[in-house]
Structures are given as C-alpha cells and as structure tokens.
Amino acid sequence: MNALKAKGKVAFIPFICAGDPDLDTTSLALRKLDEVGADVIELGVPYSDPLADGPVIQGAATRALDKHTTLDKVIEMVRRTAPAMKAPLVMFTYYNPIMRKGLDNFARTIKEAGAAGLLVPDLPLEETVSVRAACEKAGIELVLLATPTTPQARMRAIAQASQGFVYLVSVTGVTGMKEQVSGRVEGLVSELKAVTDKPVCVGFGVSRAEHAKQIVSWGADGVICGSALVKALGEASSPAEGLQAMEKLARELRAATP
C-alpha cells in the first residue's frame, strides 16, 4: 500500500463473502478479482451476528452458513487459492471465531494459508493489544477502522496502531449500497490525513464507478467496495452469471481508481 501511495496510485480493494454462493465459486472470484487488478482483496468470513454489515452482506453470510461454511473450510480454500494470487488477502472476521480458535493459532493458521492481513470490525482500539501481538508474531498486518463519529484524538491513536492502511468508514451505520457518497467524507479524509501518513482507504456505501471517482478526487489512497460486488456474485441466477456480473463491476471500479 505504501508503495502504491508513493507512486501516486489509488488502491482498488474489493470485498467478497466466503461461501456465497459456494467456496469453489469464492476461489474463482478471488482469482478473477486478482486478474482484474485488485491491489488488496478483503475476504469476509461468514458470521451469524455481523453487526457492521447491512442486508446484502448479512444475506450472503446467511446463505454461506446455511451451506455449512466454516472458518476452517474458508481457511482451506484460502490455502488452495492465495499462493497463485498477486494481490494480498485481508481476512475480514468478527472476534468470536478468532477467540474460539485461539489468537496465536488463528493468526499463525491464516498466515500459513496465505493471508497477509486481518480486519476485525467489532474489536475496539483498547482491545486490539493481544490480537495485534498475535498478528505481529505471525507476520499479519492488523487493519483498524475509523468512523465519522471518531474524535480526532482517537482517530490519531487508531491511525498510529493500524497496519498496512487505515480503513475509513464513510457512513454512520452498516455496510450497504448508497445512491451517493456523503460529501462529509472529503472532510474525514482530510482529518485522517492530517494525523497520519499511512494510506487512507474509504469503504461502506461504495457501489459504482462514480462513487470511486468522487472518493479519489477527495484524496483517498484507496477505495473499498463490498456490498455491490457481493450482490452481483451471490444473488445471480447461477455461479457463472454471478462471476460474470462481479467481474464487470470490478473492472468498472478498477478503471475509476487509476
């Protein structure tokens, strides 16, 4: 990410949910996003209580869990897929599955499988110490989130602790597709950049190329798109059609993030 920023390039960071419509299709989708030119790929582990996610990703997680997708099965799919990918893979999971597996064991296992980073949306800054220690021991970067309601002093602390990049949530609420990105995001990007030189990447509510272009114009170092890609992939009439729809949108977003 720092290398991209130094070159003046903006990162395209897609998100998909593992196991929707199935893990074989997830593997193909990861490879397709890599071919399209994703700079980093976020892979969501389906969870029963996804408090940061809106209806689209909740639906994807429910469908994946209904098909008996487990953390271990997701990790095995990553183990088969990640070695052939150029883009670093960031695992996106809530804290409970990590705790159940054991912090050190979890971090070591995902690293061995080929993951490069971890994002835990329900873990507040004060509770990240032990997870960060396990990640650092395993060679995993722990990415933290800042939101529109984060005070500047706390934003500075989050940015200091975050590794790889800082994830700026663009809305006060959950993930989901929006008609437009709030103009408030421009000020949030500026506020965050005032307290860190780490790359600032914006997500939540980004669903179209126009959104990505707007965020780029506001000075963000990366654009994260999840719900729209998840919907395209998981709600199509067949896995093949889902992959095609996801790829089309991914190419449009990639073109909007030069």
Residue with tokens 């220690």: 133
> How far from the centroid of its chain's Cα atoms is residue 42's Cα?
4
Catalytic, out of 20, 34, 39, 42: 42
Any catalytic annotation for residue 24? no
Tokens of 203: 């997500």
Separation of alpha carbons 9 and 2, rounded Å: 10
Burial (CB < 10 A; 0-12, 13-18, 19+), residue 166, is buried
Catalytic, out of 20, 34, 39, 53: 53
Question: In Å, what is the CA distance from 168 to each residue of 28, 60, 83?
Answer: 28, 23, 28
Handedness of CA 26, 231, 41, 44 (dihedral sign): negative
DSSP notation for 122-163:
T--GGG-HHHHHHHHHHT-EEEEEE-TT--HHHHHHHHHH--
Separation of alpha carbons 178 and 227, rounded Å: 10
Separation of alpha carbons 216 and 212, rounded Å: 6
Tokens of 38: 């994703």
Any catalytic annotation for residue 126? no
Tokens of 256: 């909007």
Separation of alpha carbons 222 and 157, rounded Å: 20
Separation of alpha carbons 209 and 137, rounded Å: 38
| Catalytic sites, residue numbers | 42, 53
